[in-house]
Structure 1
């Protein structure tokens, strides 16, 4: 690509792939202000988020037989980023790109092609990370969900939309956030059982002091029978340090979940709650 009109990106400030502590537009934050510990490079929430976002990318990239382990490095030549965008959008790039980017300039041009595609798709990159932008757009904002008023959904922020869908799905629990209300694992069981009655029928009897076991049971059932990949690990989703964007990434898969034939649905137990 030697055209003078080629759109290059400023490699002195490459795309930010992960989400910082700033909130995305329209988000109501009820956490305490970020502390020095939260902002540290090795902050626990950052590692969880990196793991979650990487798994989310790989769930989509497996359609084109690609994988990533380090988003910053593996997207550096633009090829896997282009592959991810084409899978998510079900469209091809508007411009040709280098399939064998052996030189730095070729890699920069490939990333530029990907960023120009986002621009033409009206997906704006602001201060938040690129992957979180893609999750917001393709997993939360854009898909049509059952049992939802389309016009009302358009008025909501992505966070409000996802939270509202979950609240309607799980009326038995006061779920008002994407961090504290998920820490004992029982809300996960409730969500799974409401998506497929009988899949986690006894979630109310689960011991709140066994959060990892609760989360593991719910998430394994969701993975096996609802087709909801575990892009976050059970021990991560109940970790007090988990950030809400990692939790939202996982939960955003539920509105499109479909029960598979042969699921081991069971009647509710007889425990007294």
Structure 2
């Protein structure tokens, strides 16, 4: 510890108690000449194994040789420094290394493990560069990571375990003993140093994350700037009021400020949560709360057409469709509500597919016969001609139809004589009856 020779000789092979006592006396005399104050301890107490006094002596040696005597980097040797206690001196050195953390003790301020990571990274920038993003609730993981890096690459042995240093009842002397090794630590060659990341220094700005002003179906854009945060990946997630989460489109701009252009298209109105992550950690102010309003499009410029809107011709349990065209109507949402013959609006569901080019395919399948009413809305208002009224017929089943009459007899008909027969369609559903008659030389027209 002292790097000095003893003042007088001692027995190198003490086999008798008297030799052991004499050797301890030589050591205690040396400590006294080093101006180390020893109270209530003698050679007999040490040889007899008085644990309390021995531990006190060890702590005295740690204070003197590991904390009081060495001159540390960034420490000035002046009268004020000499008057500080060893505890004040070590704490002052740590505070100088960690100006961003309020470290004032050797117990509770170390329980989250973040201060350990900060100290390791301060002594060797790049060993624990992401310590400030560590979760304080994961104190054990934090302490293990920091102490592992200190052990492997700074040569600081774990004289205290991670479990002990995060314990609220940890012994301060043990923590001081461990931390007193840091001022003299030197980084070993080949250490896996990483660039320092500071996600909280990334910032986002633009209309897409403003509390108001964004509307449904309209692209919401904003920018993420990462020049002060380091090198990392930007990810953006948007969660709508129903809890559906989608990843936004992020494009690097490759400029000097390392900015990223981001956009998303909200599908529903209401409060959205926009989460912006840099290197897997929230940036400053993330997540952002964005209230999306209904788009204010012009419903009068919207048109619709297709077989599903025809007054007749649609049958029950058969899928039909129509198209809605919104070109020139501005931003807005297409909505379709179908009322069945009893006026209920929840029995027939309509699937709306965006076909691009301001065209939407609306598909539905009526399950009942009778009059249906179709309401088509854009941006909350009915479009021209809406609501549409259609009559749904029964499903067509030609197999139950049958025909009979003299006009279908194989024999007995004469030229120029009227040939009659009847077609019975009861139970066959809705459909159009067509009759084709082919004679020996031409197709004849049937008169219904």
Q: State the TM-score bracket (shorter-chain normalisation).
A: 0.5 to 0.7
Distance 1:188 1:126 in 2: 34
TM-score normalised per structure 2: 0.40
User: Higher Cα Rg: structure 1 or 2?
Assistant: 2
| Aligned counterpart for 1:259 among listed residues 182, 187, 190 | 187
Q: Does residue 47 of structure 2 align to residue 134 of structure 1?
A: no
Distance 1:160 1:247 in 2: 14
Distance 1:103 1:217 in 2: 47
**TM-aligned CA deviation for residue 94 of structure 1:** 1.1
Q: Does residue 26 of structure 2 align to residue 113 of structure 1?
A: yes
**TM-aligned CA deviation for residue 132 of structure 1:** 0.5
Q: Does residue 61 of structure 2 align to residue 148 of structure 1?
A: no
Matched with 1:62 is none
Question: Counterparts in 2 of 1:30-41, with a 5 A limit?
Answer: none
**TM-aligned CA deviation for residue 91 of structure 1:** 1.2
Distance 1:225 1:153 in 2: 30
Q: Does residue 149 of structure 2 align to residue 221 of structure 1?
A: yes
Higher strand share: 2
Structure 1, unmatched stretches of 5+, are: 1-87
C-alpha RMSD over aligned residues: 1.4
**TM-aligned CA deviation for residue 160 of structure 1:** 0.6
Distance 1:148 1:238 in 2: 28
Q: Does residue 38 of structure 2 align to residue 125 of structure 1?
A: yes
**TM-aligned CA deviation for residue 255 of structure 1:** 0.7
Q: Which runs of 4+ in 1 moved over 3 A?
A: none
Distance 2:142 2:39 in 1: 37
**TM-aligned CA deviation for residue 95 of structure 1:** 1.5
Report the count of equivalent residues: 186
**TM-aligned CA deviation for residue 126 of structure 1:** 3.0
TM-score normalised per structure 1: 0.65
Please list the CA deviations of residues 10-46 of structure 1 after superposition, one character each: whole Å capped at 9, or x if unmatched.
xxxxxxxxxxxxxxxxxxxxxxxxxxxxxxxxxxxxx
SS in 2 for 1:89: coil
1 or 2 for the larger relative contact order (CA 8 Å, sep ≥6)? 1
**TM-aligned CA deviation for residue 116 of structure 1:** 0.5
Matched with 2:258 is none
**TM-aligned CA deviation for residue 155 of structure 1:** 2.1
Higher helix share: 1
Structure 2, unmatched stretches of 5+, are: 41-52, 200-280, 285-448
